[in-house]
Structure 1
């Protein structure tokens, strides 16, 4: 069995899937937009601080024989974003918008399948918003269609998030996911309809697919891995200082931000809150006022994120709708206990009350109750933090890659 992996931009989960398939000799080809290898000119240019984004696209030399790349639209998107040419990256409409990147990539992969099948291809593995043309062509050729849904189903998102428009209307401008056109949403449904199997990274994502009106194939839940556990966290007494609480993520109400701000209201003399992330929109007054009350850092590099996590006592991720939440596993790998909701991967990877806490989504009271418990028994910070770190050591990214390879090799592909 040989599989094509199609992912325009490559993230941690797709890269570790590729590693797993390479080890198991299941990878036919990787199709992506920008692929940079050691020794190439672009790799050398990535050493320039102004071009550091290129370094993120560099891949292991052993991948080179398997990698196909076509980078025009993605380079255009990166350049237009860098130069703040908003017209070119406008949602769904801009010539270099992320939707156009995915659509053009999808068509390119689809056009490559006929030849690939002649060379022994068995199936295609593609991701949401970039699978329709590929799956349509794959079906014509009798190839197996493997779909990856990285975040919950859109109808479920609409129904769950609609409440926020009524309960927290002043935050509604940050819910930018409601800007998707009916055409884009229809494409998501068509992709699901063509899938022979669906992979998701959390039980919550699987649950959201109950709102899909058609017939679905088998849904496999395989959580992502944890980052490598390297540095130890130094735990410090809470005596004579505030509890240091951290949030990292996009600054929108989908992340449950209002509930976090409400949870610390009235206990600022005991809790110090740091927020790291970009604003979803610039002109949300209630968000801007909330950020003024606390420490706000707009952006950090990945290494800085991990260091920042180690400097805090507890990480809070109160998301209202999340396919996984990689920041949860990152914080746990740094020995920081996490408070998160039942609408993330939290229930799949955290044992609530032992190595973290799972709270009801949309409840500032539930978050504040955990803060109170920590303030009353501060020794649980180290106890839970060490347990979280130990959990991270048992499930590195290599375990995810191997589990994915095992699951794919067990599929009944003709």
Structure 2
């Protein structure tokens, strides 16, 4: 049995569609844009373009996923252009609707089931007689997320500015209802972490409908490096990677390390960037915006600890990427860390909103610098077990089991 996969952009580096294509299980991928580098004439022309343009176009292509499998929804392209010009989220929602409806149209035409990423599935599954309907829920359910963020705003007035920019507060109640409808329209739901699974259970989804398949990491892009042992009074370098907003729990990290001598924090920022969250702290902070991949890996290699105290993540890919480089990771329980980290064995697992536990673990590494490499290497060994090849294999095996 083959599947139609539907999502916009380069969701998860096209790994789900590639997984099915590898096993001859893919009917087509419905998306908004895909660069046909594999078509010789077009590929030759594209290679003549300036490097900066080529680089952007290559992000919308995946080696091994033939453009022959790709169907473009031109209506979704139209809405994407409108969204880019206006930044009005209604056009992004209309794009999702166009993709979902295109998937349903082809599903019924060819009598082929759909594997849809969330936000498109309601339109793909509704009034579609073809089964099974498989949903990939890459984010925790919106109600679960919204409740956590509302709790945070009640606890921390300063967090409101960045949290109100989050998707869950940017869309209408009708869109939120659609996101609830789609999980109940699905026969089977794949998610990448137990945190996301928990959010679905809270909405009444049965445990036997849910399959947890963790994402992978390309360890060649995040190579392992042993750290030099810290000397007495050396600067202890912490790195944080992600949006500078309270969803990532940034103030809990700042509260944890304030007052610790010889501490340096490197913030590698992308997405939302709320500088006001840093205003009450005198910690030495270096901010790196939109740096290259090479520079980010270099910062990981020169740091002694990676911290991600997120309030909520569907996965937290950067945790796995950091572990691959051999750096000890401190991460909150509301991430993939709760599935892959054994506390103080291959990393550090801390409760959400717990600066005290973060501080204890940072101080443990400072006082016992040999643990930096010991725990970092164990984390690396864990990352070796979570490859993209394993992810693809698990996706293909699971979808085949639904036949």
TM-score (norm 2): 0.90
The answer for the alignment partner of 2:253 in structure 1 is 260
1:342-395 deviation digits (Å, cap 9, x = unpaired) = 100101112221110100111111100101110110101111111111112222
Alignment CA distance shift 1:198-1:232 (3 Å): closer
Alpha-carbon distance in 2 for matches of 1:51, 1:75: 22
Alignment CA distance shift 1:37-1:272 (3 Å): same
Aligned-partner SS, 1:280: strand
1:141-189 deviation digits (Å, cap 9, x = unpaired) = x332101111111111122222211211111111123232101101101
Mapped contact 1:33–1:74 kept (Cα < 8 A) = yes
C-alpha displacement of 1:32: 1.4
Q: Equivalent residues in 2 for 1:47-196 (5 A)?
A: 47-49=50-52, 52-60=55-63, 62-70=65-73, 73-74=76-77, 77=80, 81=84, 85=85, 88-92=86-90, 95=91, 98-117=92-111, 121=112, 123-138=113-128, 140=129, 142-175=130-163, 176-177=165-166, 178-196=169-187
The answer for the alignment partner of 1:23 in structure 2 is 22
Aligned-partner SS, 1:278: strand
C-alpha displacement of 1:78: 6.7
1:255-303 deviation digits (Å, cap 9, x = unpaired) = 1111011111111x32210111135265x63345659951111212334
Alpha-carbon distance in 2 for matches of 1:101, 1:302: 30
Could you list the runs of 5+ residues in structure 1 that have no partner in the other structure? none
Alpha-carbon distance in 2 for matches of 1:188, 1:55: 31
Alpha-carbon distance in 1 for matches of 2:152, 2:36: 45
Mapped contact 1:31–1:68 kept (Cα < 8 A) = yes
Alpha-carbon distance in 1 for matches of 2:30, 2:201: 31
Specify which of 231, 234, 239 is matched with residue 246 of structure 1. 239
Mapped contact 1:106–1:134 kept (Cα < 8 A) = yes
Alpha-carbon distance in 2 for matches of 1:228, 1:366: 29
Aligned-partner SS, 2:71: strand
Alignment CA distance shift 1:356-1:292 (3 Å): closer
Aligned-partner SS, 2:307: strand
Aligned-partner SS, 1:294: strand
Alpha-carbon distance in 1 for matches of 2:328, 2:342: 11
Could you list the runs of 5+ residues in structure 2 that have no partner in the other structure? none
Aligned-partner SS, 1:224: coil
Alpha-carbon distance in 2 for matches of 1:76, 1:106: 13
The answer to whether structure 1 residue 275 and structure 2 residue 267 are counterparts is yes
Alignment CA distance shift 1:408-1:290 (3 Å): farther
TM-score (norm 1): 0.88
Alignment CA distance shift 1:291-1:255 (3 Å): farther
1:297-342 deviation digits (Å, cap 9, x = unpaired) = 1212334333322221111111111110000111111111210011
C-alpha displacement of 1:64: 2.2
Alpha-carbon distance in 1 for matches of 2:89, 2:99: 17
Alignment CA distance shift 1:292-1:3 (3 Å): same
1:80-107 deviation digits (Å, cap 9, x = unpaired) = 74xxx4xx12233xx4xx3232222222
Mapped contact 2:4–2:29 kept (Cα < 8 A) = yes
* Poorly superposed stretches of 4+, deviation over 6 Å: 214-217
Alpha-carbon distance in 2 for matches of 1:373, 1:242: 15
Alignment CA distance shift 1:181-1:51 (3 Å): farther
1:4-48 deviation digits (Å, cap 9, x = unpaired) = 1111112336x2222221222211111111111224267436643
